Amino acid sequence: MSGITITFVAVAAMVVLFATNLVPAAVAALGAALVLYASGVLTIDQALAGFGDPTVLFIGALFVVSASLDASGVTAWVGRLLTRHAGQSARRLLLLTMLLASILAALIGVSGAVSALLPVVILAAVRTGRSPSQLLMPLAFATHAGSMLVLTGSLVNVLISNAKRELGLPGLGFFDLTVIGLPLLAGTIAIVLLLGDRLVPRRTGRAIPEDFSRHSGTLVAQYGLFDDLSWLEVPYGSPLIGTKRATLELGNDPTLGIIALRSAQDGPEPVDRVVLVGDILVLRGEAAAIERFATEHRLIRRQTGRPAEVGQALFNPTSGFAEVVIPPRSRQIGQAMFPGMITPNGDLMVLALQRRGESLGPSPTVLAAGDTLLLQGDWAALEALVRDPDVLVVDNPDLVRRQTVAFGGAGRIAIAVLAVMVLLLATGAVPRVVAGLGAACVLLALRVLTIEQAYRAINWTALIIIASLMSLAIAMEQTGAAQAMARALVDLVGNARPHALLAALFVLTALLCQLISSTATALIVIPVALSASGTIGVSPRAALVSVAVAAAACFLSPLAASVNLMIQGPGGYRFGDYWKLGSVLMVWFFLIGVYLVPVFWPV
């Protein structure tokens, strides 16, 4: 069996496995690469070359950069802005989503745009009561159109520009493709707005997050944290000055409980800091007990703060609270706890306790299975509760923090790093992979993201599939399979008019892009386009730009582009969902690539 035949069989088998879901997609893609090695079509280095490819590393780095925007509250902030401006209008939400996606794709590429906006769009969909699948496919497809807005929107654009230079022609300017990109984007948006409801399925992904926008208010109301509050200021001469909050004694009065300790600067406070002059103790308890405590420790009673101020003291970029349940056989059963108590490890404080939905009051309570506790502390300590076998966390603190914490310093750092990365990508000062990996390293070094969060942020399945598909591209080129297809298509066109050649090149490029990466497709088709255009007498500039438009038309399957794979799980899409909307968009891209391109680059 020839190498061409083996390559076609491997590709066909992989597509069938993808479509039928008989095995995980990553296994199917990697298995195809291994089959090509076992059959002798590729060497082991060629079969696994994608796993060290800069493009794969760049995409992995973009996952980390995207996660930093999410973890620092930027995506939640953008999601709130998106939801606020969209209101209850589904069309406005869809329009704003696609515009934002296309602009970001032009700056950092389709993978970066989808990685950054994926959690934003899911959050906006949840908050507006829409199915995420109705937004995610338009999101991904808008980035394909956005990649044609400027030169740096796609690596294919850069390859086209380099090919022109090699011919002795001027390369593409940064905005040369805008005259094509704007119609592509406008048509894409119009088609989605007009036909999207009928062509995009309504599905629920495997992991749609809950809406935690009102989470803190819900817990505050449930546990009555704002009932009977008193604010006491710590003046000079108070014996509490210098006392660690974790060891603060409330006069051994079980009827008193600490709700918060606020500094004079209103900054977020860790559990283990000491009491300073000007601090405010927010206590809950009986009036007589609070008066005795204030007199004993020379505290000054202040006007009771508003619930929003107390909420900010408890729930901010560095600290928050979490609800946990005591499970059966927990080692916490039989332990005595009370509101205001610091946990034995000293990093969390008990705000309230309930049993069967009823508050247990300020007195010490012996815990039993099924009791619920509201714990307050820094987010790292709260997130560690997820791994504690002695409690069951009701809502993951990491998800709560990402959605509800106000935009703060970490968010500004994340935006600044993203801006520098975009600048480096736009100017080409360094290779794309260097810009992406450098941004990821800076974010980790500045602790905007922990290394554990970075590992969790990377979509390893998508990376394995992308890396494996690169080996198929090598096989298509090395065995001559792609070239054989190209020659047959050019022979079919023959000496027909120029538009026929552009149509043939578009069809060839678009079909190959559904099977292998657009970059690999461009590398295969560019020499064919140049040879054919010279033979028929068509301008090579028009032929190359038409190839670039076709390479952006990656709509028909999740295999066609990495971003199509990124949205498949969260959107709950099946293999056959893509072609319905994708085929209509493919026709629009075909019309632009074949008939509008010659207007600006005469044939």
Residues 465-506: pLDDT tens digits?
Answer: 778 877 877 887 788 776 676 667 667 766 667 888 899 889
Are 178 and 129 members of one domain?
yes
Backbone phi and psi for residue 372, each to the nearest 5 degrees, phi listed first? -115, 140
Comparing CA positions, the residue from 151, 3, 126, 229 lying closest to residue 570 is 126
- Return the pLDDT at 122: 81
Are 144 and 186 members of one domain?
yes
d(CA 18, CA 541): 37
Cα torsion for 588, 96, 148, 119, to the nearest 10°?
-110
Lowest mean pLDDT across 5-9, 120-124, 126-130, 560-564: 126-130
Are 467 and 548 members of one domain?
yes
- Read off the pLDDT of residues 295-306 as tens digits, 9 standing for 90 and up: 888 888 876 555
Tokens representing residue 383 in the block? 């997130």
DSSP-derived 3-state class of residue 348: strand
Which of 396, 417, 443 corresponds to the end of one domain?
A: 396
d(CA 2, CA 505): 26
pLDDT, mean of residues 18-23? 73
- Read off the pLDDT of residues 77-127 as tens digits, 9 standing for 90 and up: 776 677 777 777 778 889 999 998 898 888 777 877 787 778 778 877 877
Beta bridge partners of residue 337, listed in sequence order = 365
In a domain, 418, yes or no: no
pLDDT, mean of residues 547-556? 92
d(CA 508, CA 485): 8
d(CA 520, CA 540): 19
In a domain, 331, yes or no: yes
Cα torsion for 550, 556, 562, 567, to the nearest 10°?
140
Which of 313, 329, 345 corresponds to the end of one domain?
A: 313
| pLDDT band with cut points at 50, 70 and 90 for residue 288 | confident
Cα torsion for 37, 40, 43, 47, to the nearest 10°?
-30
Which of 245, 280, 313 corresponds to the end of one domain?
A: 313
In a domain, 434, yes or no: no
In a domain, 439, yes or no: no
CB neighbours of residue 334 within 10 Å: 9
Tokens representing residue 446 in the block? 């500045």
pLDDT, mean of residues 140-168? 84
Tokens representing residue 68 in the block? 């930093």
Are 112 and 166 members of one domain?
yes
Q: What is the mean pLDDT of the chain?
A: 80
pLDDT, mean of residues 501-517? 84
Are 280 and 336 members of one domain?
no
- Return the pLDDT at 403: 63
In a domain, 424, yes or no: no
In a domain, 47, yes or no: yes
CB 282 within 8 A of CB 231: yes
CB 283 within 8 A of CB 262: no
pLDDT above 50 for 443 = yes
CATH number of the domain where residue 350 is located: 3.30.70
CATH number of the domain where residue 293 is located: 3.30.70.1450
What is the domain count for the chain?
3
**What residues contact residue 407 under an 8 Å CB cut-off, 6+ apart?**
72, 73, 74, 76, 77
Are 52 and 198 members of one domain?
yes
- Return the pLDDT at 280: 80
pLDDT above 60 for 211 = no
CB 478 within 8 A of CB 41: yes
Are 582 and 534 members of one domain?
yes
- In 191-329, DSSP assigns E strands to 229-233, 257-262, 280-284, 300-302, 319-325
Number of H helices, E strands in the chain: 25, 11
| pLDDT band with cut points at 50, 70 and 90 for residue 325 | very high
Backbone phi and psi for residue 463, each to the nearest 5 degrees, phi listed first? -65, -40
Are 188 and 246 members of one domain?
no
Comparing CA positions, the residue from 508, 519, 507, 505 lying closest to residue 156 is 519
pTM: 0.67
In a domain, 438, yes or no: no
The stretches of 458-517 forming alpha helices (DSSP H) are: 460-478, 481-493, 498-513
- Return the pLDDT at 210: 57
Are 362 and 245 members of one domain?
no
Comparing CA positions, the residue from 197, 186, 148, 198 lying closest to residue 588 is 186
Containing structural domain, residue 40:
4-207+456-600
| pLDDT band with cut points at 50, 70 and 90 for residue 268 | very low
Are 77 and 180 members of one domain?
yes
Are 155 and 278 members of one domain?
no
Residues in the chain: 603
pLDDT above 90 for 452 = no
Most confident range (mean pLDDT) of 42-46, 112-116, 361-365 is 42-46
d(CA 438, CA 432): 10
- Return the pLDDT at 62: 80
Are 568 and 483 members of one domain?
yes
In a domain, 431, yes or no: no
- Return the pLDDT at 444: 93
- Read off the pLDDT of residues 411-426 as tens digits, 9 standing for 90 and up: 889 889 988 987 887 7
